[in-house]
Amino acid sequence: MKSHLVGIGGVGMSALAVAMLRTGHEVTGSDRDLTSPNVKMLNAFGIKVFPDDGSGVDCSLDEIVVSTAIEETNLDLVKAKNLSIKIIHRASALDRTLSKKKLVAVAGTCGKTTVTALLGHILAEGGLDPFCVNGANVPGWEGAVRFGEGDFAVAEVDESDKSLTSFNPYAAIITNASADHYSKEEMDEVFDRFIQGLPGPLVDGRTSVGLDRDEETSLQIKKTLKMPGAHNIENALAAVSMAVHLGVDKKKAISSLATFRGVNRRLERYGERVYDDYAHNPDKIKAMWTALAEMYPQGVCVIWRPHGYGPIKKMMDQLAAMFNETIRSQDKLLLLPVYDAGGTADRSVSSEMLAEKIDEGKCVLVENHDEAFQYCSSHAEQYGAFVTSGARDVKLPALALRISGRV
């Protein structure tokens, strides 16, 4: 089968491309940025990536794979419809790709990427050789994919467009539920529907179903895990609990945490005191900031970029309340402009509107990465740590690298 993935440079689509390639598909794709790290990785695997101008679409294709983010005006999609080429959603393609395995689906508002990587690592260390597809690149994997020939697959599934209900998992983890893309009530409803009729084990962080909250277990995880933050203790507990349900010895599951190398853009360290993180909603930013505040009492400077006009409009008040509560007198938020991905977004909201709701002295508006870098350079001794944070802006890690002095 020959499949063409639109927006293949995104981490979710690039992971699907690698997974499909490893299961015998012929894969091509298109993207608006042909120079991104993920596109370069796909090229190295022999996957041809075209501009998103329709040039990669022809009658030799069996299907076009899209995500919810692809607009109806996309030229690849328009051409595929004109040629009557089958169009399927990314979630359906991933479920099909993993259909020969017992799928352990990892869902939740926060932490699912880290839990997916942790569970994949523990199962591998436990000899179960899982096939894993994550929502972020993992050191030692093929981008966000670990190819394994064991009985189990582990995959992060997405609640943002409710496509997680397209999967038919054997077992599932729900890390937590909070208001993000939808209200908490609607999110809980989606998660409840997702786990109906689940044949295998469930670990549900909302209710503690399936979680091993034995005090000794938590203590051993705290001693072994190298990732900072109380939220990562919870992530590890969910992964260990599921691994034990699937047959891994508990002592082995916990001890394997010592060799876990983390996840790209999840408190990823650049140099001695510079980090990069994917945090983009109030709960994730608060968890990140709290973890670093414990490590750096001197103060933390966070450079954050809202990842879209829709999300900042929806979360404006919650973000402002979180920043006002979380930012200490010795901390600072550098607020970048909203990331603009093009298309037909409602641009009536802005970072300036959010800044007006944040207490005086806690936030500084910066126009671009260069201005953020200049601020960090001139205040290098004032803060204990610097963090770039946000989704979608693929140049944030490069800014972290620059602040660290490694470029």
Q: Which pLDDT band, with edges at 50, 70 and 90, does 407 fall under? A: low
On whether the CB atoms of residues 275 and 374 are closer than 8 A, the answer is no
Strands (DSSP E) along 134-232, which ranges? 145-146, 152-156, 171-174, 202-204
Question: pLDDT tens for residues 279-308?
Answer: 988 988 998 999 999 999 999 999 999 988
Q: What percent of the chain has pLDDT over 90?
A: 77
pLDDT at residue number 170 = 97
Question: pLDDT tens for residues 130-163?
Answer: 999 999 999 999 999 999 999 999 999 987 767 7
pLDDT at residue number 177 = 82
Mean pLDDT of 359-387: 97
More confidently predicted of 224 and 344: 224
Other C-beta atoms within 10 Å of 3: how many?
22
Dihedral sign from CA coordinates of 173, 214, 286, 368: negative
pLDDT at residue number 89 = 94
Mean pLDDT of 272-276: 93
The answer to whether residue 404 scores a pLDDT higher than 90 is yes
Q: Which pLDDT band, with edges at 50, 70 and 90, does 179 fall under? A: low
pLDDT at residue number 344 = 74
Q: How many residues does the chain have?
A: 407
Average pLDDT, the chain: 93
On whether the CB atoms of residues 316 and 402 are closer than 8 A, the answer is no
The answer to whether residue 180 scores a pLDDT higher than 70 is no
The answer to whether residue 183 scores a pLDDT higher than 80 is no
pTM of the model: 0.85
Mean pLDDT of 77-98: 96
Lowest mean pLDDT among 139-143, 184-188, 273-277: 184-188
